[in-house]
């Protein structure tokens, strides 16, 4: 039977389905002969997602000292962070021993209070950069080389200012590009080359300002094209006509690019978009789903089965409530960034691990509770290792104790929470405005603090004597620009141009950006749809449908059949 509840954070009613309750029963851990039931959640799905995302600083980097080695390092933790931070190279080496911070469980103190104390003592890795070379100014990278200020980028080379680049190379200022090369300012593209300003397109090359195009080459300012070449403003031209038109456009001039962007805004108003992108799926709901089965209320999910409330996840099975994860994981719940793992609940990053509860940054380990940074460990509680029999004897007592955590901490200003809930807001290692949660669920500083989040102070804005006039044309930019401090036209904060960046702009005739990397990122982020569905009507046939496009969109949103019939 379904259960209706009221969210303790936003106050909205939400439904806990019968299938959800069956899942909670399935993942409830068993120690010895005792089963410890997972209770239904107290927050609605969106508030649960917000809380998990608030534990992820993906893009904001700081210069600081390593608290272990004393080295000058780059880190996702600012210099004034209350957490100890360790240089990533030291943290991932055998020199770092997380078990040395172990301590016995104290049944007179709330678990979350104990975990907070542990988290303030165990040094945390400065960055998440693995199996990569010359990638110190990045975060959440794996198997990459020669990248700069990228995040969540994997198996890629020579990328700059890109978020979620995969199996790609030489892409700059892009978001979610896969199997791509030599792209600039592109969003949600697959297998595209040598292009700029492409949006939600695939298999395109030597083109610019395309929206929802497939298998196109040498096209400019077009939308909804399929298997076309030499098209300008959706008009078919000859090769000679197209090249003549293109010669009139100077890609190296910012003013010309701004004119083109206004033209592109007009193209958007004429574009036809499919209400939902659900491809190769069976019995699934959400958006941007590819090759999924029985996945519901999921967004940005690929090759997954029997799951619910997943965002940006690949290869997950029989899982619920996760943000960011992949590599064949199963029975994951209330976790962020689980990969190659099984039965991990309430975790921040669990890789190649099994049976992990309430832990951070666990790798290749089994039977872990309330621990941080454990690698190749087993039967650990608060970073202390136990014999199997003792671990299984202690765990039911700890869970029973956690069920009374809220009572233990009623009169405290410290973290509160209970068994079956993700870590409370006050345990996030980051200021809320530094996390991905603030991008999807923006809050004022005052509101964030009422929920329990910290807030990272803003960087100072540029002073008047730091203003550098950015030339219109890339040809007018002198070598000394790399020594200048520029001021963002949007937020007025400082930014710089690095030498390899200038070289690339000159080589590919790209005008110098007049706003900082964060503002450029937010403009690309604005191209994405919200991660929620609403009811609407097809702009062609009037049929009622679900869509993730906001009501105020200026594009024509069609149901699937009308969209497919309207394509050229």
Provide the 8-state DSSP code for 375. Answer: B
> What pTM, to 2 d.p., does this model score?
0.93
Q: Which long-range contacts (CB under 8 A, 24 or more apart) does 156-161 make?
A: 160/500, 160/501, 160/504, 161/517, 161/520, 161/521
Q: What is the pLDDT of residue 418?
A: 85
Phi/psi for 544 (5° steps) reads: -70, 135
- The string of DSSP letters for 503-564 reads HHHHHHT-PPPSS-HHHHHHHHHTTSPPSS-EEEE-TTT--EEEE-S-TT--SEEE-HHHHH
Q: What is the pLDDT of residue 461?
A: 67
Q: What is the pLDDT of residue 12?
A: 95
Helix 388-402 to helix 111-119 angle (10° resolution) is 110
Q: What is the pLDDT of residue 270?
A: 86
Bridge partner residues of 205 (DSSP): 193, 217
Q: What is the pLDDT of residue 465?
A: 57
Provide the 8-state DSSP code for 252. Answer: T
- Residues in Cβ contact with 281 at an 8 Å cutoff, skipping those fewer than 6 apart: 289, 290, 291, 292, 293, 295
- The string of DSSP letters for 148-191 reads BS-EEEES-BS-BS-EEEES-BS-BS-EEEES-EEEES-EEEES
Do the beta carbons of residue 254 and residue 511 sit within 8 Å? Answer: yes
Q: What is the mean pLDDT of each run of 10 residues along the chain (568 residues)?
A: 92 96 97 93 97 97 96 97 96 96 96 96 96 95 96 97 97 98 98 98 98 97 96 96 94 94 89 95 97 97 97 96 94 96 97 98 98 98 98 96 66 57 95 97 96 88 68 94 92 92 95 95 95 96 97 94 90
Do the beta carbons of residue 303 and residue 315 sit within 8 Å? Answer: yes
Phi/psi for 507 (5° steps) reads: -65, -40
- The string of DSSP letters for 334-349 reads EEEEEES-EEEES-EE
- Residues in Cβ contact with 426 at an 8 Å cutoff, skipping those fewer than 6 apart: 116, 414, 415, 452, 453, 454
Do the beta carbons of residue 9 and residue 451 sit within 8 Å? Answer: yes
Three-class DSSP category at 298: strand
Q: What is the pLDDT of residue 154?
A: 96
Three-class DSSP category at 36: coil
User: Nearest-CA neighbor of 234 among 216, 252, 247?
Assistant: 216
- Residues in Cβ contact with 422 at an 8 Å cutoff, skipping those fewer than 6 apart: 48, 51, 52, 334, 346
What are the structure tokens assigned to 399, written together? 């869970």
Q: What is the pLDDT of residue 413?
A: 36
Bridge partner residues of 5 (DSSP): 14
Tell me the domain boundaries of the chain.
3-44, 168-274, 464-525, 534-566
What are the structure tokens assigned to 318, written together? 């029989």
Q: CA 420 to CA 403: how far, in whole Å?
A: 9
């Amino acid at each position: 039977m379904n259960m209706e509840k009221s969210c303790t954070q936003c106050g909205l009613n939400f439904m806990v389905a019968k299938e959800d309750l069956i899942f909670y029963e399935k993942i409830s851990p068993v120690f010895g002969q005792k089963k410890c039931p997972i209770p239904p959640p107290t927050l609605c799905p969106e508030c649960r997602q917000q809380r998990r995302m608030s534990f992820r600083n993906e893009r904001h980097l700081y210069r600081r000292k390593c608290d272990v080695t004393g080295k000058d390092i780059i880190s996702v933790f600012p210099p004034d962070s209350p957490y100890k931070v360790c240089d990533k190279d030291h943290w991932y080496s055998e020199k770092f021993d997380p078990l040395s911070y172990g301590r016995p469980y104290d049944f007179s103190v709330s678990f979350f209070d104990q975990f907070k104390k542990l988290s303030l003592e165990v040094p945390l890795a400065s960055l998440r950069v693995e199996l990569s070379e010359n990638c110190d100014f990045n975060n959440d990278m794996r198997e990459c080389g020669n990248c700069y200020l990228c995040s969540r980028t994997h198996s890629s080379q020579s990328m700059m200012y890109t978020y979620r680049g995969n199996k790609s190379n030489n892409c700059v200022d892009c978001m979610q590009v896969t199997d791509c090369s030599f792209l600039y300012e592109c969003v949600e593209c697959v297998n595209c080359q040598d292009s700029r300003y492409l949006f939600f397109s695939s298999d395109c090359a030597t083109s610019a300002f395309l929206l929802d195009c497939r298998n196109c080459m040498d096209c400019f300012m077009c939308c909804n094209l399929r298997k076309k070449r030499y098209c300008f403003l959706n008009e078919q031209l000859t090769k000679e006509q197209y090249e003549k038109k293109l010669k009139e456009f100077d890609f190296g001039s910012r003013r010309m690019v701004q004119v083109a962007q206004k033209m592109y805004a007009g193209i958007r108003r004429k574009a036809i978009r499919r209400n939902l992108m659900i491809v190769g799926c069976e019995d699934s709901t959400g958006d941007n789903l590819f090759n999924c089965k029985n996945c519901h209320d999921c967004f940005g999910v690929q090759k997954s089965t029997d799951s619910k409330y997943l965002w940006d996840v690949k290869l997950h099975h029989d899982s619920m409530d996760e943000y960011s994860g992949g590599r064949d994981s199963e029975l994951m719940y209330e976790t962020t960034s689980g990969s190659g793992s099984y039965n991990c609940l309430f975790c921040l990053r669990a890789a190649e691990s099994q049976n992990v509860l309430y832990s951070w940054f666990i790798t290749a380990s089994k039977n872990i509770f309330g621990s941080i940074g454990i690698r190749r460990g087993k039967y650990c509680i608060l970073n202390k290792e136990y014999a199997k029999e003792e671990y299984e004897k202690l765990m039911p007592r700890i869970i029973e104790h956690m069920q009374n955590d809220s009572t233990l901490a009623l009169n405290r200003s410290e973290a509160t929470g209970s068994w079956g809930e993700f870590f409370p807001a006050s345990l996030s290692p980051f200021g809320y405005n530094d996390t991905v949660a603030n991008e999807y669920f923006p809050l004022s500083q005052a509101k964030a603090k009422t929920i329990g989040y910290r807030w990272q102070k803003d960087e100072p804005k540029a002073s008047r004597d730091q203003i550098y006039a950015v030339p219109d044309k890339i040809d007018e930019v002198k070598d000394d620009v790399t020594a200048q401090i520029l001021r963002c036209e949007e937020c007025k904060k400082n930014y710089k141009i690095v030498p390899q960046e200038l070289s690339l702009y000159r080589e590919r005739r790209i005008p110098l950006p007049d706003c900082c990397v964060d503002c450029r990122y937010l403009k690309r982020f604005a191209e994405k749809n919200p991660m929620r569905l609403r009811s609407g009507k097809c702009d062609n046939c009037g049929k009622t449908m679900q869509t993730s496009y906001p009501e105020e969109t200026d594009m024509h949103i069609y149901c699937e059949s009308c969209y497919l019939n309207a394509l050229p």
